[in-house]
Structure 1
Amino acid sequence: MTTTKQALDFEMNEALPKIVVVGGGAGGLNLVTRLSRSLGRKGKADVTLVDENLSHIWKPSLHEFSAGTKGPDEEISFLEHSNRNGYKFRLGRFAGINYQDRQVMLDPVLNEQNIELSPARALLYDVLVLAIGSRSNDFGTPGVSEHCLFLDTPTEAKRLQSEILNLCLRMETGALHVGDEKVRIAIVGGGATGVELAAELREATEQLGRNGIDLLQIPESVGITVIEAADRLVAALPKALSQNVLHELNSLNIDVRLNTRVASVSDKSIKLADGEDLKAEIIVWAAGILSNKALATAVDLEIGSLGRLKVRPTLQATNQDHIFVMGDAADCEWAEKGQPLPPRAQVAFQQAEFLNTQIQNVLSNRPLKDFTYKDHGSLVALSSSTAIGSLMGRALGTFTIKGWLARRAYKYLHYQHEAAVQGHARALIRTVLSVAMRRVRPQLKLH
């Protein structure tokens, strides 16, 4: 890594520096855990995490929560985690920044009954890290926000699981009559999220058939369609692996429409660009990402690709020395390829590790360093037993990995995240208990 010529001229609001991390996703929770261990517990800083949710779910697992194959025991409570690790958790929705007074502005958080759980307020910071992630990009397509379900947050994943279960129950009981006696689910977007969700839903609906919903035991009782505007699935993978993914989805009786654009979405119907109307009881939008809308309120920060905030190689905002941006919220240059870094969990993981040291440099008035990303490849899960991907290493170069071994590698990525935020001992215990519980609990969430 290279170092900048000067350290950050750091002025604290109080004797104990205040570090505020906004966003408890894969990167934010990882970072705040590291900061609490390196600074908070040692009395060197006051560390605070802000999120509008009370619990954390590893975002690459959201498709499993939405299908019901993972349950609440996989979540991490921010309240419990903050108490155990020695940082503060504050419930709040990011609203903007008062740069002059170094304050993070928070909007109220309401529950489902519109009762205020936390009021509008402001938190002081000396160092601010924005890690508020991304949202699905509707590309301005009419009807998407009104008629589609999304898979960006734990709340949305739980809603999708409930909608799918209710739909299948209504079909079984006769409360819902669908065309050709088939439940139809359409997923717009053939990236990793769309592909993984399609495969997981195929497995989940088959499980429902074995758990009392008799109509789902009939072959082809659930029609799943994936719609992708590009000429191949999962563009992050090499072309040969994209073909392998397509073959796997076809073997699961999933209809894949490539080179197909969506013109508009209405109630239970998708209008394609070629004029075809595609009927579906559930429509999930997973076509690309866009920066979280809350970032638009930070009008004085420079906006880059996909609405993300442009950052310097140090991960500082281009015009605010005391603000760092990471994960899907950051438009960070990938120097090796001359393009922005992709919105991947491994990017956020590496940036969390980097910022832990970087912020310590800030507090100690040491020169800051530049972030360097190391690409370790991509993996796509295609059921509970298989996955496809490419891995990169110095010794072996780039190589393809498939099947059971690839699925184990995929699970290891989740374990790495668990170990980073829970510690290796707790992560190992949770993994062992999770395996044991699968033998005594339903394989699918049925309520």
Structure 2
Amino acid sequence: MQSKYVIVGGGAGGLELACKLGRKLGPQAVMLVDSRLFHIWKPSLHEVAAGTLDVHQEGLSYQMLAHDNHFTFVYGPLLALDAQQRVLTVGAIISGDEHKEEVLPQRQIGFDSLVLAIGSTSNYFGVPGAAEHTISLNATEDAERFRLSLLKLLTLAELKKDTQPDAGVDVVIIGGGATGVELAAELREASGVYATYGFRQLDATRDVRITLLEGAPRILAPLPEKVSSAALDLLRQRAVTVVTDTRVTAIDGRGVTAGDTVYPAQLVVWAAGIKAPDLLGTLGLPTVRSGQLDVDGTLAVKGFDYIYALGDCAACAGPDGKLVPPRAQAAHQQADYLLETLVRKHKGQPPQTKLYEYRDYGSLVSFGQTTSVGSLMGSLKGLSWFVEGFVARLMYVSLHLMHHKAVLGTLRTATLAVARYLIKRTTPLVKLH
């Protein structure tokens, strides 16, 4: 197999680049490789975990997107890269049933230019038991595993109520960043809804006990203190126990140990940090201490003017020397920058002279289906506005719609938004199976 421009990783940035480049250059020139068949916007995984978003309705087929946006989709995981020969190896696909048949064989793909956008994975920082006893929301299967585990625990707690009045579910979330905070709020809202669908003896506030542990002095530490304080108030109003300035030292089947305190837990979510996938260290490309690919100001991997990286897997320093944060808006901006780069290369034009520079437009944090909080950055340096409530929620939803617009177009995004609104009026507010 051969393609001029191969993009590995169909996350927010990689997929947007494939769609926009495909619409310009066509399927003979543009190829997207991913180990999954469906795309879901990663910032919405906490909603999938809580059951308030059905991944089977939300997921977008890569094959459908490839057809509509004129790129070629290759299904399979990246296994190896021969950077000098410009060939990458994509692994075989094995069926998930008991027969374990080979659905697709291992393949090799040649390329003229390569873009790596394979994202990040959880960083457990060497905490004993973290990998074995926690769930990290890295992908849709993680979120679905959490949701099904929660549903099973709620059912068991309901059955025990007759003989054990204090029966309930203890959930501990490790990490007070956006993922941890959003999951805590969404879980509280979802647990109340679950209680109305057959869990008659469970009191959501009393029996679904949610604890959020954060090592920093405050939650949402990278955001302005006003946002952090508002988020803390909203969590406390929802009966979420928040413990800051605490370090998790061990996790086992009983619960989470932080200092001298053991927090009982039947479900533990790890949202305390990310790192580059270990695969990057095997590709023969330069990496930094964090394991991310070392890229220059044009997002090219250093030493290779035909290999690029974007998103969480790329260590890109700004003019101030600070690394670009691993955020969806950064991946979106980098995708647009590389779109210009690759189109120029395809047309034989000189490369763009302007280096990539990250622009922070602010942050929004969701607190369920009705409210959000956050900060919006102004055009003047250092100027920001605090937003909260319904207006902030509308802005948060608009970010998701903007991503859909990039991959589906304006008309289909609008139609999809209306359709999902109508579907929600006729289906349970949470997924019950």
Report TM bin, short chain.
Answer: over 0.9
Please list the CA deviations of residues 411-431 of structure 1 after superposition, one character each: whole Å capped at 9, or x if unmatched: 000010000000010000000
C-alpha distance 177-376 of structure 1, shift in aligned 2 (>3 A): farther
Aligned to 1:308: 292
Aligned to 2:90: 106
Please list the CA deviations of residues 311-363 of structure 1 after superposition, one character each: whole Å capped at 9, or x if unmatched: 0101000011111100111111122x421000000001111111111111222
Offset of residue 293 of structure 1? 2.3
C-alpha distance 111-136 of structure 1, shift in aligned 2 (>3 A): farther
Offset of residue 365 of structure 1? 3.2
C-alpha distance 104-180 of structure 1, shift in aligned 2 (>3 A): same
Q: SS where residue 131 of structure 2 aligns? A: helix
Aligned to 1:417: 403
Whether the 8 Å CA contact 1:313–1:333 is kept in 2: the answer is: yes
Aligned to 2:239: 253
Please list the CA deviations of residues 98-132 of structure 1 after superposition, one character each: whole Å capped at 9, or x if unmatched: 12321112223334445433332211111110000
Whether the 8 Å CA contact 1:26–1:348 is kept in 2: the answer is: yes
- Equivalent in 53, 56, 60 of residue 39 of structure 2: 56
Matched, 1:281 2:288: no
Matches within 5 A, 1:173-192: 173-174=159-160, 180-192=166-178
C-alpha distance 177-288 of structure 1, shift in aligned 2 (>3 A): farther
* Aligned AA (2:18): V
* Aligned AA (2:333): Q
- Aligned-partner Cα distance in 2 for 1:176–1:408: 43
| Structure 1 gaps, min length 5 | 1-12
Matched, 1:86 2:80: no
Whether the 8 Å CA contact 2:23–2:71 is kept in 1: the answer is: no
State the superposition RMSD in angstroms: 2.0
Aligned to 1:7: none
- Aligned-partner Cα distance in 2 for 1:237–1:178: 42
- Aligned-partner Cα distance in 1 for 2:384–2:46: 27
Aligned to 2:9: 23
- Equivalent in 304, 318, 323 of residue 320 of structure 1: 304
Aligned to 2:372: 387
Whether the 8 Å CA contact 2:205–2:239 is kept in 1: the answer is: no
Aligned to 1:364: 347
Whether the 8 Å CA contact 1:227–1:258 is kept in 2: the answer is: yes
Offset of residue 19 of structure 1? 1.0
Matched, 1:37 2:20: no
C-alpha distance 34-152 of structure 1, shift in aligned 2 (>3 A): same
Please list the CA deviations of residues 388-426 of structure 1 after superposition, one character each: whole Å capped at 9, or x if unmatched: 100013279411100110000000000100000000100
Aligned residues: 427
- Equivalent in 367, 376, 379 of residue 361 of structure 2: 376
Please list the CA deviations of residues 154-173 of structure 1 after superposition, one character each: whole Å capped at 9, or x if unmatched: 11111111111111112223
* Aligned AA (1:379): L
Offset of residue 175 of structure 1? 10
- Aligned-partner Cα distance in 2 for 1:223–1:345: 30
Please list the CA deviations of residues 289-322 of structure 1 after superposition, one character each: whole Å capped at 9, or x if unmatched: 1112221221x21212532111010100001111
Aligned to 2:249: 263
Offset of residue 178 of structure 1? 7.8
Whether the 8 Å CA contact 2:373–2:388 is kept in 1: the answer is: yes
Q: SS where residue 418 of structure 2 aligns? A: helix
C-alpha distance 188-218 of structure 1, shift in aligned 2 (>3 A): closer
Matched, 1:332 2:316: yes
Report the TM-score when normalising by structure 1: 0.91
Report the TM-score when normalising by structure 2: 0.94
- Aligned-partner Cα distance in 2 for 1:26–1:192: 17
C-alpha distance 218-145 of structure 1, shift in aligned 2 (>3 A): closer
* Aligned AA (1:377): G
Q: SS where residue 305 of structure 2 aligns? A: strand
| Structure 2 gaps, min length 5 | none
Aligned to 2:143: 157
* Aligned AA (1:321): D
Which stretch of structure 1 is more off in the superposition, 161-170 or 338-347? 161-170
Which stretch of structure 1 is more off in the superposition, 21-30 or 120-129? 120-129
Whether the 8 Å CA contact 2:7–2:18 is kept in 1: the answer is: yes
Please list the CA deviations of residues 25-49 of structure 1 after superposition, one character each: whole Å capped at 9, or x if unmatched: 11111010001111116xxx52111
Q: SS where residue 80 of structure 2 aligns? A: strand
Whether the 8 Å CA contact 1:62–1:154 is kept in 2: the answer is: yes
- Equivalent in 45, 48, 52 of residue 69 of structure 1: 52
Offset of residue 385 of structure 1? 0.6
Q: Percent identity?
A: 38
- Aligned-partner Cα distance in 2 for 1:137–1:218: 31
Q: SS where residue 180 of structure 2 aligns? A: helix
Q: SS where residue 397 of structure 2 aligns? A: helix
- Aligned-partner Cα distance in 1 for 2:119–2:222: 19
